[in-house]
Copies of this chain bind each other. A is one copy, B any other.
């Protein structure tokens, strides 16, 4: 397994990144704005073209790639035995506001198209791949009961219980952003009213503050003692903590690993607020639970997708060498293919 290459793919609402790794570490990373035009095989074709391009740049052939690991936004649906992406962030045919996304896709056959081109393809929601990576290489080593949470523009979770990674019927387990926290409340991008993402995400914090402030503006105002910012952020932390208490009541977890820019940039403010509220919940269930920041944070995108397909022999070496910390910077490609 030492003479093989792996491709790691990260698909978000705005970009695709592709990295190529071998036993010693990451060799190259390409970054491109995701193109949402064309037919619904456009994204897998962009992924394939990027992998091919990355291979050429490091002097290997596409057929040297033994497996492709993919982190992507979701949800998924199972169709003909393959996962297809049914995310309203990518599929114009599923978006709440028509016309914002320039396509009418209702599903993206990612796995099926790429499985025809590579020997092994595994994909997962980005928080699910993140919890796999944090358990292998990060803050969750040796832990069988853990939850990775991203607190960012949105909210998502990936969950192990009893050492088992939760998948569910369509591999949509861990959509922790869409649990209800309020009896009513603001509308989420998914259509729900009063779910965790609608109440506490970075977007929600900016919306609740108003005045055209960004999420980081609200935290800056908090640090300067602004009363409204304190109220908005305390309420978000209150609801986030209650969301974690709900997840814990169902999973009886040991450890919450929190990532995402909203949390990681402001953990000095948020972590004490979250812990204070969380431990007010039913002590027989919450007692002994730990919160910790993501250990892989800025590296999570690459390593998460790789974790899905990484051979055991590599894992031992990577755990020791941490080669993702020395990965080359991403090469940013323009829409016309130039750098």
**CB within 8 Å of B: which residues of A?**
75, 77, 86-88, 94, 144-145, 157, 159, 161-162, 164, 166-183, 185, 188, 190-192, 195, 238-239, 242-243, 245-247, 249-254, 280-285, 288
Contact = CB atoms under 8 A, between A and B. Distances in A.
B252 A169 contact: yes
Nearest to A193: B280
A179 B246 CA distance: 4
A252 B180 contact: no
A282 B183 contact: no
Looking at chain A's contact residues, the main secondary structure is loop
Given A157-B250, A250-B159, A250-B250, A284 B180 contact: no
B176 A249 contact: yes
Given A161-B167, A162-B164, A250-B173, A285 B75 contact: yes
B283 A191 contact: yes
A281 B192 contact: yes
B77 A172 contact: no
B174 A166 contact: no
- What 8 pairs across the A-B complex have the smallest Cβ distances? A168-B252, A179-B246, A172-B252, A190-B282, A75-B284, A178-B249, A173-B252, A175-B249
Contacts of A176: 249-250
Nearest to A167: B162
Given A75-B285, A179-B179, A283-B191, A161 B162 contact: no
B94 A284 contact: yes
A81 to B, nearest CB: 16
B178 A181 contact: no
Contact of A183 (B161, B171, B181, B188): B181
28 contacts: A86-B284, A144-B169, A145-B169, A161-B164, A161-B173, A162-B164, A162-B166, A162-B167, A164-B164, A166-B252, A167-B252, A168-B252, A173-B250, A175-B250, A175-B252, A175-B285, A178-B249, A179-B245, A179-B246, A179-B249, A180-B245, A181-B181, A183-B238, A190-B282, A191-B280, A192-B281, A195-B249, A246-B246
Contact of A281 (B167, B178, B245, B254): B178
